[in-house]
Structure 1
């Protein structure tokens, strides 16, 4: 019983430590472009855009716009829609007509 409590405490501590490291690694600078404290970490835009555009009614258009936004911002918000507050650069991209560029 004592071993399982110790194991559970270590497991919870590990998860907390990992989440603190991940939260510290992401720094948003003043213009909203994501930079990472752990070097020039580039996300896999292809995989992230496939995830983001999975439910799109126009997947080719979504992938093209997402790829452009991902390359510029090095960030793709979680989920298949919304959550733009996680990546301010993503939310601020607009088309020539003034509409939101990023899906």
Structure 2
């Protein structure tokens, strides 16, 4: 159910990414966990604090 919402939002979010497949992978993980994706292709992470605050194991932002 959530992936139906995530796929079009992540397609938009990753439309200008240099590494589309990697962007989509992490966007989908973050979307499924957080149930939201910020608008636009970059930034706007204040719209979705869960998405913004997710970190990878090196402490860097996980979500594109």
Q: TM-score, normalised by structure 1?
A: 0.59
1:44 CA displacement: 0.8
Q: Deviations over 1:36-73 (max 9, x none)?
A: xxxxxx56101110000000000000000000000000
Give the structure, 1 or 2, with the largest relative contact order (CA under 8 Å, sep 6 or more).
Answer: 2
TM-score normalised per structure 2: 0.93
Give the total of aligned pairs.
Answer: 63
- Structure index of larger Rg: 1
Flag structure 1 segments of 5+ consecutive residues without an equivalent. 1-41
* Structure 2 gaps, min length 5: none
Q: Show structure 1 runs of 4+ deviating over 4 A.
A: none
More strand by share: 1
Q: Tell me how large the CA RMSD over aligned residues is.
A: 1.4
Q: Does 1:88 align with 2:49?
A: yes
